[in-house]
Amino acid sequence: MLCRSAGRDGGPGSVRPRSRGGSRVGAAGVFLAVQLVMPLALPAAADMRPEPLAVLQGLDKITARVSEFEAPVGARVRFGTLSIRVRDCEKSPPEEPPESAAFIEIDEMRPGEDIAKRVFSGWMFASSPALSALEHPVYDINLLDCKAASGSPSASGSTTGNDAR
């Protein structure tokens, strides 16, 4: 099919073939391409190893105080009026790009109220704190790392082979 349009140098009167929609790659082709590329972009969940402690950083926006504290998986810790419970904390192995991820539930206990209000529930990532952040007018909470309990070796840590000098 031909259509009349501007000439090569913008003048009227030239004839060119009309395009019929460009590429024939449809939704199936895009889906296939995404399926092939995604395993390369994200580490597999099986590569992450669980750790018993989450290292968190809290910011009190009123006083501008920054505190670093540890939260054992399953236990509640307090930061100001917030009650924080880490449900899971996982870390990538040393040979992979560094990443820590934790599933965290944060409740706010306001003075004079008996019922806690859930202000955050979800995964936090140490490498991308803004990806899933607590939105609170007074406090910021960020995941810094997941680590083994102090005094115990890491789940994948090995002390063999460190004698070579």
Torsional class of 129: left (φ above 0), alpha (ψ -120 to 50), beta (otherwise):
alpha
Q: Quick one: which of 88, 97, 81 has its CA closest to 122?
A: 88
In tens, the pLDDT along 147-156 reads 998 766 554 4
Q: Each residue of 26-70: pLDDT tens digit?
A: 555 555 554 554 444 444 455 899 999 999 999 999 999 999 999
- 110-141 pLDDT, tens digit each: 888 888 999 999 999 999 998 988 989 999 99
Handedness of CA 158, 143, 38, 121 (dihedral sign): positive
